[in-house]
Amino acid sequence: MDYDETLRVEVQQTKDKLTETLVLQLGISHRTKQLHLSNIFIPITEHNKGYGFGLLHEILTVANAYGYKLFIVDMVPSFYKRMVSKGAKAAIEADDVVLVDDETELLSHRS
Domains of the chain, each with CATH number or no CATH: 5-100 (3.40.630.30)
Give the 3-state DSSP-derived string for the chain, with helices as H, strands as E and coil as C: CCCCEEEEEEEECCCCHHHEEEEEEEEEECCCCEEEEEEECCCHHHCCCCHHHHHHHHHHHHHHHCCCEEEECCCCHHHHHHHHHCCCEECCCCCCCEEECCCCCCCCCCC
20-29 vs 98-100, strand pairing mode = unpaired
Q: Rounded to two decimals, what is the model's pTM?
A: 0.86
Render each residue's pLDDT in the chain as its tens digit; 111 residues: 789 999 999 988 888 888 888 999 999 999 999 999 999 988 888 888 989 999 999 999 999 999 999 999 999 999 999 999 999 999 877 889 999 999 999 986 544
Q: Are 86 and 111 in contact (CB under 8 A)?
A: yes
